[in-house]
A and B are shown apart, each in its own frame.
Chain A
Amino acid sequence: MPDPVSAICWRQMEPGPDERLTDYSEDGVDLTLIRWMLSLTPAERLDVLQGHVDDVTAIRELHASQ
């Protein structure tokens, strides 16, 4: 027998058929990405950037050793 509470939660997580799930500006900028960045503190934004740089560096080093 399905857990009725889980079933309700699952239904609540499903978007409606006509619901807008993306938000791009007229010039093609992903506004959801900007809103996510703005939700972070400047220190967290720096950590995101540092993470990207570290990842790219790691990938570059991996390829250099191959």
Chain B
Amino acid sequence: MQASRFRPVLRALREAEVDFIVVGGLAAVFNGAPVNTFDTDVVHSRDQANIARLLPVLETLDAIYRIQPDRRLRPTASHLASPGHQNLITRYGPVDFLGTIGRNLGYADLLPHSEEFDIGEGVRVRVLDLETLIAIKEELGGEKDRAVLPVLRRTLEEKKKRKE
């Protein structure tokens, strides 16, 4: 399986002016949490115009569904318009396009809880803030989410101390 290369994926999305927010483990890392992740998770705007901008990027990235890579199934506009999760593998590794996360939170819900980060090489992306990331993981309450919560909570505390 192709190993993750995070920056080229995010750059391709930005260059095509796709509206999205980085969430999950990668958002935690951008916020300063010392955690590991092997995929890129984003919540994209399900607005029709945004999906029209996103589809050619997915083609450039050679994005197919991870579940049956041999069949090379490609996501369509209707898949991307759904609130579900599109778990894809691209030329730069696994990328998940999430219609919603947590309790049905979509791009517009998360936008006020995100901030723009300079991630180097001239790329700027919107990233979910740590407070919201923690709240969503607390709500989900799964074992995987609970495992990372202590690190996220302590990172948030340390961040707040730095701002005081």
Q: Which residues of A are at the interface with B, using a C-beta cutoff of 8 A?
A: 25, 27-31, 33-38, 40-50, 52-54, 56-57
Pick the residue among A27, A35, A56 that contacts B150 (CB under 8 A).
A27
Q: Is the Cβ of A38 less than 8 Å from the Cβ of B155? A: yes
Q: Is the Cβ of A42 less than 8 Å from the Cβ of B30? A: yes
List 13 contacting pairs A-B, 8 Å CB cutoff, sorted by A: A29-B150, A31-B158, A37-B34, A37-B155, A38-B155, A41-B120, A42-B30, A42-B119, A42-B120, A46-B7, A46-B30, A49-B37, A50-B7
Q: Which residues of B contact A30 (CB under 8 A)?
A: 34
Q: Is the Cβ of A53 less than 8 Å from the Cβ of B154? A: no
Question: Considering only CB atoms and an 8 Å cut-off, how many residues of chain B contact the other chain?
Answer: 27
Q: Is the Cβ of B29 less than 8 Å from the Cβ of A29? A: no
Interface SS of B by simple majority: mixed
Q: Is the Cβ of A29 less than 8 Å from the Cβ of B154? A: yes
Q: Is the Cβ of B38 less than 8 Å from the Cβ of A53? A: yes
Q: Which residues of A contact B164 (CB under 8 A)?
A: none
Q: Which residues of A contact B117 (CB under 8 A)?
A: 42
Nearest CB of chain B from residue A10's CB, rounded to whole Å: 31
Task: Indicate whether B15 reaches chain A with its CB closer than 8 angstroms.
Answer: no
Closest to B123 in A: A43
Task: Indicate whether B26 reaches chain A with its CB closer than 8 angstroms.
Answer: yes
Q: Is the Cβ of A46 less than 8 Å from the Cβ of B6? A: yes
Q: Which residues of B contact A43 (CB under 8 A)?
A: 118-121
Closest to B117 in A: A42
Q: Is the Cβ of A52 less than 8 Å from the Cβ of B36? A: yes
Q: Which residues of A contact B29 (CB under 8 A)?
A: 37, 45-46, 48-49
Closest to B151 in A: A29
Task: Indicate whether B32 reaches chain A with its CB closer than 8 angstroms.
Answer: yes
